[in-house]
Amino acid sequence: MPLTLTVSEGVIPKGKENEVFKGLCDSMLKWHGLTGNKVMTPNVVGTLNVVPQGFSYAGGEQSHVAFVEWKVPGFAFANREIQEGYVSEATDLLHEISEGKLPKENIWVNVLHAVDGAWGISGQAMTNDQLKVAISQG
């Protein structure tokens, strides 16, 4: 389940990059009841993209921003409690780690759902049902 975290340069203090990325991943697993799941945990992957100073925008103006974007199967983030809990926790985490440089109103979270049957893990295209079976065994 790839996470793409995009932040403005200078928002995350040096040395805290791994902490924030791991925190966002751990939170996603927690909200889905999958902490420690042997199938899901190694398939929570992603990138941290740092946008150079002056090249990130909010409201058409240069600004410090953060975008948390998940690509997941259709059954993930489907529950309103999970959506609200994760967005709140992710926003708080980024705001706190930025030491206040990143205002909460400049943190966006979104989720994209993969087409059922086109979720590739280890070279195998899996359906949502196949993923659910694999996850339940982990």
Rounded to whole angstroms, how far apart are CA atoms 93 and 76?
A: 21
- Pick from 27, 98, 14: which is nearest to 64 by CA? 98
Residue 119 pairs with which residues in a beta bridge? 126
pLDDT tens-place values along the chain, 138 residues long: 999 999 999 999 999 999 999 999 999 999 999 999 999 999 999 999 999 999 999 999 999 999 999 999 999 999 999 999 999 999 999 999 999 999 999 999 999 999 999 888 889 999 999 999 999 988
Can you give the pTM of this predicted structure? Answer: 0.93
Q: Which residue segments constitute the domains of the chain, with CATH numbers given?
A: 2-136 (3.30.429.10)
pLDDT tens column, 28-37 = 999 999 999 9
